[in-house]
Amino acid sequence: MSELPAYLRIASDLRAKIVSGQLRAADRLPSLARLMERYAVSSTIVRNALAILAREGLIEGRSGSGVYVRDARRLVRRSNGRQQRTESGSASPFARDAAAGGQQGGWESDSAEEAATEEVAARLAIEPGDPVMRTRYRYLADGHPVQLATSWEPLAVTRGTSVERPEEGAAVGVVARMDHIGVRVDDAEERVTWRAADETELAGLELPQRGGYVLVIRRTYFAAGVPVETADIVLDAGRYELLYRIPIE
Partner DNA sequence: TAGTGGTCTAGACCACAAT
Partner DNA sequence: TTGTGGTCTAGACCACTAC
Which residues are at the interface with a second copy (CB under 8 A)? 2, 4, 8, 12, 15, 19, 44, 48, 51-52, 55-56, 74, 79, 81-82, 84-86, 175, 185-196, 199, 210-211, 213, 215, 221, 237-238, 240-249
Q: Which of 19, 24, 44, 90 binds DNA (CB under 7 A)?
A: 44
Contacts of 34 (CB under 8 A, 6+ apart): none
Q: Which residues pair with 215 in a beta bridge?
A: 194, 235
> Are residues 203 and 214 in contact, defined by beta-carbon separation less than 8 angstroms?
no
> Are residues 237 and 146 in contact, defined by beta-carbon separation less than 8 angstroms?
no
Q: In angstroms, rounded to a whole number, what is the distance separating the alpha carbons of residues 190 and 235?
A: 14
Q: In angstroms, rounded to a whole number, what is the distance separating the alpha carbons of residues 82 and 96?
A: 14
Q: Which of 14, 53, 56, 61 binds DNA (CB under 7 A)?
A: 61
Interface mask (CB under 7 A) for DNA, residues 182-211, using x and -?
A: ----------------------------x-
Asked whether position 29 contacts DNA by CB under 7 A, the answer is yes
DSSP 126-142: S-TT-EEEEEEEEEEET
We find the least distance from the C-beta atom of residue 140 to DNA, in angstroms, to be: 24
Minimum CB distance to DNA smaller for 67 or for 141: 67
Query: What is the H or E stretch that residue 149 is in?
Result: strand 144-154
Q: Which does 180 bind (CB under 5 to 8 A by kind): DNA, a second copy, none?
A: none
Q: In angstroms, rounded to a whole number, what is the distance separating the alpha carbons of residues 163 and 184?
A: 14
Half-sphere exposure at residue 138, Cβ-oriented, CA atoms within 13 angstroms: 14
Q: Which does 62 bind (CB under 5 to 8 A by kind): a second copy, DNA, none?
A: DNA
We find the least distance from the C-beta atom of residue 36 to a second copy, in angstroms, to be: 17
Minimum CB distance to DNA smaller for 5 or for 131: 5
Interface with DNA (CB under 7 A)? 5-8, 29, 31-34, 40-45, 47, 50-51, 54, 61-67, 210
